[in-house]
């Protein structure tokens, strides 16, 4: 990081260092930076609140004799958002361990580690997720888990607040099986989850979502389930399958008589489930299965109290009414809201943020957006 200036910026509050591990353009095979370079510069920026480093090449870290004489850590007492983008050939755990040990921040700081999209393969996902929790300084148990299936690269984000922590995981299509395998390595982190958000991709049709059913057994204390369904591709692509039965596959495991996919035979999946939230893009397939789930759980003594439905304006109201009519007698509270155009997703971080504008969805505590708009799409 020899390009960093030697002067201090005591009032700086946002810092985005592009290609921090390159000394100059074209030096791709030279060790060009030390962690001490970054620590020295950040020591002159004590008011930094947002720090973004991307992309980071861990194989370019200089570990020579000069690096051992440099400062090893710096404290940023006002840091609120810390984002790191890792090159595909680097190890995300190694970067996380090095950077979080060198840059000290408050416990309420929000963390984002992303593996850049190029060259990502499905089997790359399991190792980073399982190992990150061993190296990240996360002291707040997370009670909200957000899972997004996307082709926009892998992202792991942790945000904490007074109401608990939120973990956001973004991964490529078809990776549900690898995600389930990763969850097996971290059961202690999952027992506190009360709120699960699932954003499905267009290619996540039935054979892949069957792995999702297996994962529900990891969340014994789950109370709120949010399912975001993808809209059909425009224009339709005959080369790619689009199966609109996402909801059927996602909620099928919640039936009290369906134990085929459970990790262990522990009885009803999610026995404390209180609220289900779904969105209906332009189709209502799966609503009949949802009715069977609600009826079955009610008869078994585990009723779902509240159902929240967001629907696209392109959905015919007659079809919507026919889908919702059988459900109103199966829950105590049914909330239905049109998805306004400006609330349609702009990124994997906002797929279900329409829920945040509806005060009837969840309890008021802990529902404030935990990553501001100006930070969502930085990487």
Return the pLDDT at 232: 58
d(CA 315, CA 364): 29
Within a 13 Å sphere around the CA of 142, how many CA atoms are in the beta-carbon half? 27
Return the pLDDT at 44: 94
* Cβ neighbours for 234, distance < 8 A, ≥ 6 positions apart: none
pLDDT tens across 63-82, in order?
666 666 677 899 999 998 88
SS3 content of the chain, % helix, strand, coil (to 5): 30, 20, 50
Return the pLDDT at 279: 79
Cβ neighbours, 10 Å, residue 1: 19
Return the pLDDT at 351: 40
- No. of helices (H) and no. of strands (E), the chain: 11, 14
- Residue 313 parent element (H or E): none
Name the DSSP class of 231.
P
Return the pLDDT at 208: 53
Return the pLDDT at 53: 85
Which sequence spans correspond to the domains of the chain? 1-116, 141-364
Return the pLDDT at 62: 67
User: At how many degrees (to 10) do helices 35-42 and 92-102 cross?
Assistant: 40
Return the pLDDT at 375: 40
Name the DSSP class of 36.
H
pTM: 0.75
Instruction: Sort residue 216 into left (φ over 0), alpha (ψ -120 to 50) or beta.
Output: alpha
d(CA 303, CA 272): 9
Return the pLDDT at 288: 84
Q: Which residues of the chain have pLDDT under 50?
A: 23-25, 31, 89-90, 118-123, 238-242, 259-265, 342-379
pLDDT tens across 216-271, in order?
878 889 999 988 766 655 555 544 444 556 677 677 778 776 544 444 445 678 89
């Amino acid at each position: 990081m020899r390009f960093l200036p030697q002067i201090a910026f005591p009032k700086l509050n946002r810092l985005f260092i592009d290609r921090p591990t390159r000394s100059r353009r074209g030096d791709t095979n030279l060790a060009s930076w030390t962690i001490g370079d970054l620590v020295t510069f950040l020591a002159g920026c004590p008011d930094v609140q947002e720090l973004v480093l991307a992309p980071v090449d861990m194989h370019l870290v200089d570990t020579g004799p000069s690096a051992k004489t440099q400062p090893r850590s710096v404290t940023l007492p006002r840091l609120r958002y810390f984002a790191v983008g890792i090159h595909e050939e680097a190890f995300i755990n190694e970067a996380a361990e090095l950077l979080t040990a060198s840059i000290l921040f408050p416990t309420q700081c929000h963390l984002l580690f992303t593996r850049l999209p190029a060259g990502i393969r499905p089997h790359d996902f399991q190792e980073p997720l399982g190992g990150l929790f061993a190296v990240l300084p996360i002291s707040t148990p997370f009670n909200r888990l957000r899972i997004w299936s996307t082709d926009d690269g892998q992202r792991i984000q942790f945000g904490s607040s007074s109401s608990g922590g939120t973990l956001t995981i973004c991964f490529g299509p078809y990776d549900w099986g690898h995600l389930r395998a990763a969850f097996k390595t971290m059961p202690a982190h999952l027992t506190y989850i009360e709120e699960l958000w699932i954003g499905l991709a267009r290619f996540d049709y039935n054979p892949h979502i069957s792995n999702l059913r297996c994962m529900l057994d990891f969340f014994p204390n789950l109370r709120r389930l949010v399912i975001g369904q993808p809209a059909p591709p425009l224009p339709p692509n005959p080369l790619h399958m689009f199966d609109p039965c996402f909801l059927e596959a996602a909620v099928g495991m919640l039936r009290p008589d369906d134990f085929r996919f459970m990790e262990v035979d522990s009885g009803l999946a999610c026995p404390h489930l209180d609220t289900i939230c779904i969105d209906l893009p332009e189709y209502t397939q799966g609503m009949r299965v949802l009715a069977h789930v609600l009826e079955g759980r009610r008869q078994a003594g585990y009723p779902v109290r509240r159902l929240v439905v967001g629907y696209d304006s392109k959905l015919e109201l007659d079809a919507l009414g026919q889908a919702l009519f059988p459900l109103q007698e199966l829950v105590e509270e049914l909330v239905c809201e049109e998805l306004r155009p400006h609330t349609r997703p702009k990124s994997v971080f906002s797929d279900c943020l329409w829920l945040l504008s509806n005060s009837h969805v969840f309890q008021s505590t802990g529902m404030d957006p935990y990553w501001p708009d100006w930070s969502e799409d930085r990487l």
